[in-house]
């Protein structure tokens, strides 16, 4: 298997990202590549404290959490932010077939088990939600609480009709309804000759992002060979009831239906892609009852960029 490893010089002098790099070898299960891959992660704060596990999505990396990590560490928590395989400083298989929803879950599951993380507070945004929650479904005893932040858990089942701003649900026996914005994103990722992470960030934040920060989001992906994971994530979104990802998410929903530990939703008010999901999480998960759920004003899809400090302070206060 060909693997691209971004040159370390690409990560020099990034704004507000001065965290020591750490690495761990992980593997995916049968059906994907079983080769060992190097996964990068940030690990700040007291090493014996219960961890806050921050999972990013598409097409970002742990840089997304740079505003939150110091706040968590200063509050006495262990702040852990990995880069998914294919992103950030982690290894990037060149062949897109190496990336599947299940493989991403396997990689993060292996990471959690290898570090033997327990008492985890999961913070999942975008793909970090379904991947992290699938790991929780496999290892529920390792998790103490969850923060769902601008994230999704698609199964394409008919009961989602009318519940989501970006529709993605079945119609009758063999039809589906998809929002044009969702389909545009999927087709763009496959057809565009050029795809940059910074385009998604600048187009999905409510506040202006400086050129040096946008360049930092592009740093891991200096050439097309580095972008296979980025290209693949959009077409892994389950858009039919028969999708393998729908089956993974149904199993996750089954586990979450019995999850009584605290489950908090914090969404931005300017994210059409995930609007409506916060209510579904609140209704379906027992641990979401009576929690101080919030909608952050002036925050887009990447609310860590628009309101990272506020999000971190809310989480610290909630945990306290």
Task: Single out the catalytic residue among 43, 83, 106, 126.
Answer: 126
Sign of CA pseudo-dihedral 15, 267, 249, 186: negative
β-sheet bridge partners, residue 146: 122, 263
144 within 8 A of 261, measured Cβ to Cβ: yes
What pLDDT score does 57 carry?
98
Q: Is 52 helix (H, G, I), strand (E, B) or coil?
A: strand
| 290-311 mean pLDDT | 98
Determine the average pLDDT of the residues in 249-268. Answer: 98
Q: Which residue from 33, 42, 265, 45 is spatially nearest to 133, judged by alpha carbons? A: 265
pLDDT at 53: 99
Q: What is the mean pLDDT of residues 159-176?
A: 95
> What average pLDDT does the segment 83-109 reach?
97
Average pLDDT over every residue of 120-140: 98
Count of CB atoms situated within 10 Å of the CB of 298: 14
Question: What is the value of pTM for the model shown?
Answer: 0.97
Closest to 84 in 3D by CA, of 52, 113, 117, 41:
41
* Mean pLDDT, rounded, of the chain: 96
The residue segments making up the domain with residue 137 are: 3-319
The answer to whether residue 33 scores a pLDDT higher than 80 is: no
- Cis check: omega of the bond before 59, within 30 degrees of 0: yes
* Overall average pLDDT of the 244-258 stretch: 98
**Domain of 292: which CATH number?**
3.40.50.1820
Distances (CA, A) of 316 to 33, 47, 111: 38, 17, 24
DSSP-derived letter for residue 111 is H
Q: What is the DSSP string of 71-126?
A: HHHHTT-EEEEEPPTTSTTS-EESSGGG--HHHHHHHHHHHHHHTT--SEEEEEEE
pLDDT at 217 over 60: yes
Worst-scoring range by mean pLDDT, 32-41, 58-67, 79-88, 144-153? 32-41
pLDDT of 1 = 86
* Nearest alpha-carbon partner for 206 in 269, 311, 298, 102: 298
pLDDT of residue 173: 86
Q: How many domains does the chain contain in total?
A: 1
Q: Does 271 participate in catalysis according to the annotation?
A: yes
Does 180 score more than 90 pLDDT?
yes
At 34, the pLDDT band (50, 70, 90 cuts) reads: low
* Average of per-residue pLDDT across 33-57: 94
Across residues 31-60, what is the average pLDDT? 91
For residue 50, the model assigns a pLDDT of 96
307-319: average pLDDT: 98
Average pLDDT value for residue range 175-194: 97
- pLDDT at position 48 is 96
For residues 103-110, average pLDDT: 97
Catalytic residue, from 43, 83, 91, 271: name it. 271
């Amino acid at each position: 298997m060909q693997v691209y490893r971004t040159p370390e010089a690409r990560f020099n002098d990034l704004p507000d990202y001065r965290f020591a790099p750490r690495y761990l070898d992980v593997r995916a299960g049968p059906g994907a590549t079983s080769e060992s891959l190097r996964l990068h992660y940030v690990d700040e704060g007291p090493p014996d404290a219960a961890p806050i596990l921050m999972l990013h999505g598409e097409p970002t990396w742990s840089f997304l959490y740079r505003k939150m990590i110091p706040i968590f560490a200063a509050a006495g928590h262990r702040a852990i932010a990995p880069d998914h395989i294919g992103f950030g400083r982690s290894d990037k298989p060149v062949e897109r077939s190496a990336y599947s929803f299940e493989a991403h879950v396997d990689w993060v599951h292996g990471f959690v088990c290898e570090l033997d993380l327990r008492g985890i507070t999961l913070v999942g945004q975008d793909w970090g939600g379904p991947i992290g929650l699938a790991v929780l479904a496999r290892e529920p005893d390792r998790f103490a609480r969850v923060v769902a932040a601008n994230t999704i858990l698609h199964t394409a089942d008919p009961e989602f009709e009318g519940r989501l701003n970006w529709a993605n649900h079945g119609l009758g026996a063999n039809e589906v309804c998809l929002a044009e914005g969702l389909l545009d994103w999927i087709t763009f990722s496959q057809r565009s000759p050029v795809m940059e992470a910074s385009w998604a960030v600048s187009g999905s934040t409510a506040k202006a992002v400086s050129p040096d920060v946008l360049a930092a989001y592009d740093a891991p992906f200096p050439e097309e060979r580095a972008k296979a994971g980025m290209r693949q994530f959009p077409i892994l979104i389950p858009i039919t009831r028969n999708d393998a990802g729908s089956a993974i998410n149904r199993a996750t929903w089954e586990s979450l239906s019995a999850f009584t530990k605290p489950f908090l939703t914090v969404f931005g008010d300017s994210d059409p892609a995930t609007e409506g999901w916060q209510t579904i999480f609140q209704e379906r998960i027992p641990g979401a009852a009576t929690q101080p759920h919030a909608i952050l004003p002036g925050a887009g899809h990447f609310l860590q960029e628009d309101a990272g400090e506020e999000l971190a302070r809310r989480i610290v206060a909630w945990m306290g």
